[in-house]
Amino acid sequence: MRVLIVQHDEGVHAGRFRGLFAANGLGTTAIIAPEVTEWPAQDSFDALWVMGGAMQVWETQAYPWLTSEIAFIADAVNAGKPYFGICFGHQLLAAACGGQVGAARSRELGLLPITGGDAVLGAGAEDGREVFQWHSAEVSVVPPRFRAGWSSPLCAHQTLQGPRGVFSVQFHPEVDLTTLQDWYAIPGVTDDLAAMGGPDFPDRLIADFTTRAGQQDALAAELFDNWLRAARTTIAG
């Protein structure tokens, strides 16, 4: 299986999923959306992953390439390509497939609980599962032919499942400690965190994340296994 990974910044990559791709024998090619002059042909890849980003779906005037990326995602899904979207990639999927995305009522940031259960992420304990959140927009209307599964008190649509191996999540299962440190290296990120939670918030976030690394490893492995099973079934026809 040839997996195309669309990033929106060099540092916002597939993180801990890179090891899972390799362990399962999947070949990957990563491209940076703002640098794309011509999107790859649909027959050049078998499955599409779309990662997070600091921009918003509706900011097409500030980021003109967003219009072509949304069209590219729509073409891939319509062609029956398995898909996995993370945060911005979750929102782009919704926009590409007839849903709606808007500003969240309240930003979610840090390790927070979600509740529910679906094919994307199997049901958890009665009090839900902890996932790593970092977003200020959300899917406000689920696309036709899609199902929403998990939710949080601040965000109703934490997962989406579409036809033919199309999954997406609002949260960030790809983030491990190395990935989080890569994000901190992006100019302005730690300043923004400090403005939101106080000068010690970036360090507290790292410490909190480190204590739950094993839990997040297991969560990512479950998500990946569920997606890969659905993707392989889709490709096999």
Paired strand residues for 102: 138
Render pLDDT for 94-105 as a digit per residue (tens, 0 to 9). Answer: 999 999 999 998
Render pLDDT for 13-47 as a digit per residue (tens, 0 to 9). Answer: 999 999 999 999 999 999 999 999 999 999 999 99
50 contacts 4 by C-beta, under 8 angstroms: no
Q: Reduced to 3 states, what is the DSSP secondary structure of residue 97? A: coil
pLDDT mean over 56-82: 97
- Which candidate in 8, 13, 69, 87 is catalytic? 87
pLDDT mean over 164-187: 92
Q: Which residues of 38-76 are buried (b: 16+ CB within 10 A; e: fewer)?
A: ebeeeeebbbbbbbbbbbbbeeeeebebbeebbebbbeb
**Residue 175 has what pLDDT?**
92
Torsion of CA 219, 128, 130, 83, to 10 degrees: 50
Q: With bands split at pLDDT 50, 70 and 90, how would you rate the model's confidence at 195?
A: confident
Paired strand residues for 3: 28, 47
Mean pLDDT in the chain? 94
Exposure of 214 in the CB half-sphere (CA atoms within 13 A):
1
Label residue 166 exposed, middle or buried (CB < 10 Å: 0-12, 13-18, 19+): buried
Rounded CA separation 200/204 (Å): 6
Is 97 one of the catalytic residues?
no
Does 138 have pLDDT greater than 80? Answer: yes
Q: For residue 100, give the nearest of 62, 139, 152 by alpha carbon.
A: 139
**Residue 186 has what pLDDT?**
86
- List C-alpha distances in Å: 227 to 10, 94, 111, 231: 24, 17, 22, 6
**Residue 125 has what pLDDT?**
67
Rounded CA separation 21/184 (Å): 24
What phi, psi does 149 have (nearest 5°)? -115, -80
Tell me the two tokens of residue 232.
Answer: 């392989």
**Residue 102 has what pLDDT?**
97
Rounded CA separation 155/90 (Å): 13
Which regions of 33-99 does DSSP assign to beta strands (E)?
Answer: 47-50, 83-86
* 139 Ramachandran zone, left/alpha/beta (phi>0; psi -120 to 50): beta
